[in-house]
Amino acid sequence: MSSSSDKPAGDAAAPLEAPGPAATLHEPDTAAPERAGAAGWFVALPEGWRPRARLLWAQTRAAGKLLGPSARLLFQIENHTYAYSVAASVILAFLPFLLLLVTVAGLLRSPATVQVIHQLVYDYVPAGQSLIVRDLNYLAHHHTHAVQAFSLLMLAISSTGVFLPLEVALNGIWGFRKNRSYLRNQAISLGLVAACGALAYISIALAAWGQGLAYHLLHFLLPAAWTGLLHYSDQAIAWLVMRLCVVPATIFGFFLIYWWLPNGPVSAVRVFPAALYTGLLAEIFRTGFRWLLPLLDFHAVYAGFALPVTLIVWGFAGALLLLFGASLSERGVARMPAHLRMNLHWPPGLPHRRGADKPGAYS
């Protein structure tokens, strides 16, 4: 009679083992809350947070590599020189430019447009808004032909001071070694002033028309007894219509500067994304600078000179932002979002960049 020990070793059944820790890996851990409370927040983090943190860090490093060279551009000495020159010229050109817009609105008999210009001053100028609006109204109602001629002359001179250093800076960014002559730069500057002025007035007039239409519709739909709601609704509509009209005009203004000011062929398709992002960043910068201004407290240091110092710093930072966007465009970093890209098919014989039809043009 054979026993179980007579069976071959290969046919012997493996003895059953008691369930170990591996059998309980997927069972709910009822002691986890207690351990989390004892060990702190680190244990209480959700499962899978380490891969997400690594992904976020990788994305941050990639963004740093993309934006780093353009950010370093802001710390170069020559670009600071150009930006300060632009800021000083902006102060000289700012009030004549506003006076020109108000004069055109007065000739067209559009008081609503004048009110929108005042709203722009209060919304976009970081300090001294009441003083600027008061002086603007005084000059607009007591102006003479000599004042108008002097304003146009100052606008022409200061526009050269704005666009001449910008051209030199943009030529350096794009690698164009030769700058325009003074007369050619003057002609380009006056053309840009005319184009930006027309663009600004059209956007302001559209904002005035849109605000008036929205006010009439709102007062028609809501009862007159809701005065409080009407008041806040009017303010909200004025802010919304203003942004819908001014932000696209700002983006297109950046586009014109990026496209026409460099002394060389620049692709319009290539610079438009940079103009788009720079225009949106300008809105963020406007809000951030206004929040930061009380912390700077220029009045404590400069007293009566606080307003011009504030405007100079404001113009200086805005000029650096413009150069930052130009650097993103030149490096090919600024691109349209994937869901907004379009396949542009240009007609035969029509260059998609300035100077592309000339022999030896840059690609």
C-alpha distance from residue 11 to each of 1, 4, 139, 159 (Å): 18, 10, 109, 98
pLDDT digits (tens, 9 = 90+) for 53-85: 877 887 777 777 777 777 888 888 888 999 999
pLDDT tens sequence across 170-180: 999 998 989 99
Q: What's the confidence (pLDDT) of residue 258?
A: 93
> What is the number of domains present in the chain?
1
Q: What is the pLDDT of residue 220?
A: 73
Over residues 104-127, the pLDDT tens digits come to 888 888 888 999 999 999 999 998
Whether 271 contacts 255, CB under 8 Å: yes
Cα 169 from Cα 93, distance rounded (Å)? 20
Instruction: Tell me the pLDDT tens digit for each residue of 300-338.
Output: 889 888 888 999 999 999 999 999 988 888 887 666 555
> Which tokens belong to 320?
């650096």
| Residue 121 near residue 129 (C-beta atoms within 8 A) | yes
pLDDT of residue 316: 93
Token look-up 């650097």 returns 327
Look at residue 49 and tell me if it is in a domain.
no
Query: Hey, how many other C-beta atoms are within 10 angstroms of the C-beta on 158?
Result: 22
Beta bridge pairs of residue 353: 267
Query: What value does the mean pLDDT of the chain take?
Result: 77
The pLDDT tens digits of the residues spanning 158-209 come to 777 889 899 999 999 998 989 998 889 888 988 998 899 899 999 999 999 9
Distance (Å, whole) CA 227 – CA 247: 30
The closest alpha carbon to 287, from 309, 317, 319, belongs to 317
Residue 60 falls inside a structural domain: no
- Residue among 214, 211, 156 at smallest CA distance from 188: 156
Calculate what percentage of the chain has a pLDDT beyond 90: 25
Q: Which domain holds residue 150?
A: 75-336
Q: How many CB atoms lie within 10 A of CB 95?
A: 17
Does residue 229 lie in a domain region? yes
Q: What is the mean pLDDT of residues 254-278?
A: 90
Q: Residue 267's beta-bridge partner residues?
A: 353
Residues of the chain with pLDDT > 70, as a percent, come to 74
Contact between 203 and 249 under an 8 Å Cβ cutoff? The reply is: yes
**Would 56 be classed as within a structural domain?**
no
Distances (CA, A) of 108 to 102, 196, 202, 297: 10, 19, 12, 41
pLDDT score recorded for residue 14: 47
pTM above 0.75, yes or no: no
Q: Is residue 281 part of a domain?
A: yes
User: Is 64 contained in some domain?
Assistant: no
Nearest to 362 by CA among 173, 176, 167: 176
Contacts of 267 (CB under 8 A, 6+ apart): 352, 353, 356
Q: Is the pLDDT of residue 23 over 70?
A: no
Within-domain flag for 53? no
Please give the backbone phi and psi of residue 353, each rounded to the nearest 5 degrees, phi first.
-145, 155
SS3 letters across the chain: CCCHHHCCHHHCCCCCCCCCHHHHCCCCCCCHHHHHHHHCCCCCCCCCHHHHHHHHHHHHHHHHHHHHHHHHHCCCHHHHHHHHHHHHHHHHHHHHHHHHHHHHHHHCCCHHHHHHHHHHHHHHCCCCHHHHHHHHHHHHHCCCHHHHHHHHHHHHHHHHHHHHHHHHHHHHHHCCCCCCCHHHHHHHHHHHHHHHHHHHHHHHHHHHHHHHHHHHHHHHHCCCCCHHHHHHHHHHHHHHHHHHHHHHHHHHHHHHHHHHCCCCCCEHHHHHHHHHHHHHHHHHHHHHHHHHHHHHCCHHHHHHHHHHHHHHHHHHHHHHHHHHHHHHHHCCCCCCCHHHCCCCCCCCCCCCECCCCCCCCCC
| Burial of 355 per CB tally in 10 Å (0-12, 13-18, 19+) | middle
- Do the domain assignments include residue 147? yes
Separation between Cα atoms, residue 134 and residue 176, nearest integer Å: 44
Token pair of 248, please?
């696209």
116 residue type, one letter:
V
Structure confidence at residue 153 (pLDDT)? 78
Among 119, 91, 86, smallest CA distance to 105 is for 119
